[in-house]
Structure 1
Amino acid sequence: MADGVEAIIQRLYGLPTFFVAGLPRSGTTWLQQMLNAHPELLCLGESHFVNDMVPGLYNVLWNFTKSRSNPERTWAPGVVGPQTDHMIPVLRMAFASLATANLGSTDLTRLRAIGEKNPDNLYHAERLWRVFPEARIIHIIRDPRDGAVSGFARFRARLPKELTRPQYVAAYAKDWASRITTARGVAKDRPFMEIRYEDLHADTLGRAAEIFRFIGVSDAAADVAQATEASSFERLSGGRRQGEVDPASHYRRGEVGGWRDELTPEEVAAAEQAAGRMMASLGYEVSPEGLATAEA
């Protein structure tokens, strides 16, 4: 069994990698489920590889290196501990090991790329590209008004009690614009793709095929259909139709533009002031008044 696991890890170590990023409640889980349902892909859920395992392993290795360089702790003949360049293969092997532990029923004979979804990947894109220079990063972007409505409903119990929904909407929209700007700067001349949630929603088959081509796997009609059908809202939600709300479900509503039914004018204005310029640049509806008051 050990030999079998080691052989699988070695095989996965040599595969291309990809990572899904985006603000919470932006469709990252939907996209992860879609990618994971493609017969040539394995896409892990939120392992927090880049912001948990990577720094943890790096610190262990670096502490060892420092201890070996301490003359009071070294007996002849000593050794030189691994430097940063030596640590990268260890981190990559750790990801392959993590993927192996989560293979499930994946058909190894068809597997062509491995990846992970984590909203925090956007904050740590530079670190990901240091470990995996050729990694594809896919940033899914959703109208911040819809994202804020969904986020406030989903995370309310964990938010400060004094935080009002208008305040949350404004903070969410500001973070949304900031993350997009930062990610674009880091991603310049690197394998990076932005996809709007709304576009994936409107043309799921066509946009899914684009994503699969970007990663470098099959965009054959049968493979695209398999992935999109397995990740449909109806299937993920347990049978609800899009627009049927379950506040307790991770798949709350599955609809575009629900903010119009839920946000107050005050909350809409707060979102537009915080992110109106970026929203307009991405094709989202922004009122003339909102655009005029939008922060630079």
Structure 2
Amino acid sequence: MSEQGADHLTAALRRLNEARRRARTELVTPPPPRPRDPLPPTGRAGRNLPAATGVGLGLLAVVALSLFTRREAFVFLVVVACFVGLWEVARAVAQRGIRIPLLPLWVGTVGILVSAWRAGAEAMLMAFTLTAGGVFLWRVLDGGGRGAVRDAAAAIFAAAYVPYLAGFALLMLRQPDGAWLVVTFIVVTIANDVGGYAAGVLFGKHPMAPSISPKKSWEGFAGSLLLSAALGALLVALLLGQAWWLGAGLGAAAVAAATTGDLAESLLKRDLGLKDMGSLLAGHGGIMDRLDSLLVSAPVCYVILAGATGQPVL
């Protein structure tokens, strides 16, 4: 072979080796992550206000009718709401590969809520414990491994978050003035949303938690406090015959709890890349988008109202 041919062959081998080296580098070096599209705001401003108002008033009418006709109807409404809420949670976390077993959760939900209504707080806690154990056993028998532990933990969290917290509303209902206690709890919690929305739209300038809920402001929080405390004072004085300042404290505590629940669900939704947990309620989103503040507020209102009316907490 001539010297020129040898040079050509050497150059060709060098280019081939360089190409192979680049190919190996591309295989082991991951591509740069694609920037995620910004999530839409999770605040309540910007929704279809007429639709949201109509749906909200309709729900309140159904709740009031059940409370003042047959209380068992309200228990049934809570069970149905928890069923739908758990379904929304299961569908949401499924986007991260988490599989929540709904059937044992639904069975446990009935047990938790009926125990709360019929036997009180201790029975409700026992039913939750049995539900947690049953859900874990169900998921492990369905297939072990890390996935089973992860899914069972998510299911136990869902049982604590939805039916167990909802059970505190039924603990209030079983008290002698139970219907009025539940009305007071619902009104002061909804006042958190209404007062916060109105004050936030009119005066909101300082975000409370911009990375979680961009449209929630400190001005809105102040509006929530004012409206909830005022309505709490009025309802506790007129309906329950207790001191007005106790109702004002109830309203302030409900706002703190409801805001925590609202921000917690907003954080969960942002982590999952969701704007709403569902689309069942026009102008609101899903059932969980309405229950988020009520669920966390329920145990706080139960403890305060039970103490105010001289009823045992447990």
TM range (shorter): under 0.3
TM-score (structure 1 length as normaliser) = 0.26
Normalising by the residue count of structure 2, what TM-score does the alignment of the two structures yield? Answer: 0.25
> Which protein has the bigger helix share?
2
The structure carrying a bigger strand percent of its residues is 1
Higher RCO (CA 8 Å, separation ≥ 6 residues): 1
Q: Which has the larger radius of gyration?
A: 2
